[in-house]
Amino acid sequence: MNRKDLPKLAVPVFIVGIVLLLILPVPSFLLDVLIILNILLALVILLTTLFVKKPLDFSVFPSLLLVATLFRLGLNVASTRLVLGEGFAGDVIQAFGHVAVSGSIIIGAVVFLILVVIQFVVVTKGAERVAEVGARFTLDAMPGKQMAIDADLNAGLITDAEAKERRAAVSAEADFYGAMDGASKFVKGDAIAGILILVINMLGGVAIGMLQNGLSVTDALSKYGILTIGDGLVSQIPALLMAVSTGMIVTRSGAETEIGASATTQLTQSRNALMIAGVAAIAMGFIPGMPIVPFLLIGAGLLFAGWRLSRQAAQQAAAAEQQQALEAAAPSADSPEDLLEQMRVHALEILLAPDLVDMVSGSSDDLLGRVRALRRKIAVDMGIVVPPVRTRDSIELPPSTYAIRIAGVEAGRGTAPSRSVLALGDQLDGLPGAATVEPVFGLAGKWVPAELRHAAEMTGATVIDRVSVLVTHLQAVIGDNAARLLTREDVKVLTDGVKQVNPAAVEELVPGMLSLAEVQRVLQGLLAERVPINDLGRICEALTLRAKVSTDPEGLVEAARAALGPALPARHAEAGTLRVIMIDPLLEQSMLEGLRPSEQGTQIVLDAHRIEQVLGSLRDAVRSVEEQGLSAVLVCAPQLRPAVHRMVSAQANGLPVLSYQEATAAGSTIETVGVVRAADPIAA
């Protein structure tokens, strides 16, 4: 048998051993070993609950609680068999019966009942209630957490793998608290079983002593009563430890530290509390009849702890004053360096109204963490390194407003009220809040108070937190302005990266055939149509071949698109089907006849009235497709594609334009969903 398989067999073998305890007699020396194992197992479980950082780190606890309870009851059966059958149940029970309670049945019974009261009334009852409430709240919050994960995934803040992992964590949390709600009943039943077993053993022992062994009532109580009390204490102590473990695991908060570290930090956060408690302890020591030494020792310890805290606070204050002095000694705000920094135009900025500064909390889930995740996603998807996003507050913005700037020019603006979430749906009239329009997709919604999130979800609305709204807006702005964000330095970094893995493609192209500026212009042309440039090696190879014929920018862009081939239509296909909007053949022929070169590239020369008819027909076709919940691309002849894109880019909300060759490159099924005509639809 492989050594790695031994842990898998540990629990099944242990459960089989428990079953044997219920059936077969156990020697007294083996019972001693098992009782010690039971006590130490309960102690290890209790210590483990103290050192875990999150309840889910000990997710096996509910099952372990059941096994430990069954083991303890099995020991009760084995010890009862020895007590009633032989009048001796091992040295451990004997020691608990004579040493722990001084051989007194009354003292033992009182101690046993006190332990039962502590376990049953105090610990178990509270843990049961906390587990019940925790399970209810966790299950109620589960849909909202799933929606938040879906919103982050749709916004591109997390990958599919991360979303799957977070969904599994939410499901595991719900399963854990549901299991703990049921497992707490094990502890409650164990306490009741302990009392019944004690009474049954006591009555059975007296009956056996009097009827079988001929002992008097006093002798039978003395002999079997002490053993029964010892057996009860041996079982009740680990039962109490398990009850405390149950209460400890269900009362853990969402802190990411061990309970010892959290308790120490939070109990010593107030110097005044320690000093007052120390003075009170010393004052209580002088009450007549009180033992003064313990009170003085404890009071002195509290005063010393308070003094240490005050000393640390003074050191921190001195360090803060020193830092302020260094800042005061720094160059003034009118220094040339500071003025140059203020004059510098940042590529990408987020301005926040003063009441939105709380969105930048410094945690991994705040605005800054989401922006970092967005930069990684765009780098992987589009092949462009987004510059660092500068985030600052602005008193010029209205309350609850944010603005996104590209190179100092505002490119987007929206609202994100504090303590609110955005609900998108059709049945929001019954909820309070300010009506709004989602800035990216133009959907009608409402900013509702965060505490009504569950109520909004119950109406079928999609609920999005305000950080996700801002980051989704930022992603759309970056996508629309990716060409502007690609600097020449970025192109140099990208080409240097390609040179490390494919040096021939870059060294032949730059600077021999094209300058870095010309390569930048081609990449900007691709990004302007939302074409990823992450396959830069293939793009460089295509530019090398094209540059031998012509360095015309439009021809270079089309050559790069042809090299990317199937990657272009694959981004727009759904389930293997590419839905296209065609151009009427007669209209397309007239466009070809009107094609003229210009400094900005080829242009289609048509009269203004006919161009307006073409654009109107295109808008109607796009609107018809969107009403069906679908997306489509416009296809045309390869010679027309750049000119058609220039003509419709500002009118069709970023509608992709592909050539016939590009549309068929991926081998997808082509489905025509509209036709653009020059004639007025009413006249036709």
| 332 domain residue, yes or no | no
Section 176-187 average pLDDT: 73
Q: How far is CA 300 from the centre of its chain?
A: 46
Q: DSSP 3-state assignment of 672?
A: strand
Asked whether residue 124 falls in the same domain as residue 65, the answer is yes
Q: Which domain holds residue 552?
A: 486-564
- Encoded tokens for 57: 């780190």
Asked whether residue 537 falls in the same domain as residue 403, the answer is no
Q: Under a CB-based contact definition with an 8 Å cutoff, are residues 67 and 242 in contact?
A: no
Q: DSSP 3-state assignment of 437?
A: strand
Higher pLDDT, 186 or 329: 186
Specify the CATH number for the domain of residue 431: 3.40.30.60
Report whether pLDDT(217) > 60: yes
Among 564, 594, 621, the domain boundary falls at 564
- Of 217-226, 436-445, 617-626, where does mean pLDDT reach its minimum? 217-226
Q: Among the residues of 403-465, which ranges form H helices?
A: 453-458
Tell me what pLDDT residue 103 has.
59
Tell me what pLDDT residue 52 has.
80
Asked whether residue 168 falls in the same domain as residue 65, the answer is yes
| 7 domain residue, yes or no | no
Report whether pLDDT(681) > 50: no
Residue whose entry in the numeric block shows the structure tokens 């800042």 = 327
Tell me what pLDDT residue 680 has.
47
Section 665-684 average pLDDT: 75
pLDDT band at 587; cut points 50, 70, 90: very high
Cα 128 to Cα 598: distance, rounded to the nearest angstrom: 79
| 65 domain residue, yes or no | yes
Most confident of 1-5, 251-255, 598-602: 598-602
Asked whether residue 218 falls in the same domain as residue 76, the answer is yes
| 274 domain residue, yes or no | yes
Cα 35 to Cα 37: distance, rounded to the nearest angstrom: 5
* Backbone phi and psi for residue 278, each to the nearest 5 degrees, phi listed first: -65, -45
Section 122-134 average pLDDT: 70
Most confident of 188-192, 266-270, 335-339, 499-503: 499-503
Q: What is the pLDDT of residues 392-451, one digit of tens each?
A: 888 899 999 999 999 889 999 999 998 899 998 887 888 888 889 888 888 889 999 988
Section 12-17 average pLDDT: 80
Report whether pLDDT(579) > 80: yes
| 202 domain residue, yes or no | yes
Section 619-626 average pLDDT: 90
Section 651-660 average pLDDT: 84
**First CA to last CA across the chain, in angstroms?**
83
Question: pTM surpassing 0.75?
Answer: no
Tell me what pLDDT residue 621 has.
92
Q: Under a CB-based contact definition with an 8 Å cutoff, are residues 457 and 443 in contact?
A: no
Asked whether residue 640 falls in the same domain as residue 513, the answer is no
Asked whether residue 280 falls in the same domain as residue 253, the answer is no
Most confident of 103-107, 211-215, 477-481: 477-481
Please tell me the total count of domains within the chain: 5
Asked whether residue 306 falls in the same domain as residue 419, the answer is no
Tell me what pLDDT residue 36 has.
86
Specify the CATH number for the domain of residue 505: 1.10.8.540
Higher pLDDT, 69 or 210: 69
Tell me what pLDDT residue 580 has.
95
- Cis peptide bond upstream of 417, omega within 30: no
| 492 domain residue, yes or no | yes
Asked whether residue 67 falls in the same domain as residue 192, the answer is yes
| 339 domain residue, yes or no | no
Specify the CATH number for the domain of residue 614: 3.40.50.12790
Cα 599 to Cα 583: distance, rounded to the nearest angstrom: 26
Q: What is the pLDDT of residues 476-491, one digit of tens each?
A: 999 989 999 999 999 9
pLDDT band at 7; cut points 50, 70, 90: low
Asked whether residue 529 falls in the same domain as residue 663, the answer is no
| 617 domain residue, yes or no | yes
Tell me what pLDDT residue 665 has.
86
Asked whether residue 243 falls in the same domain as residue 283, the answer is no
Asked whether residue 464 falls in the same domain as residue 583, the answer is no
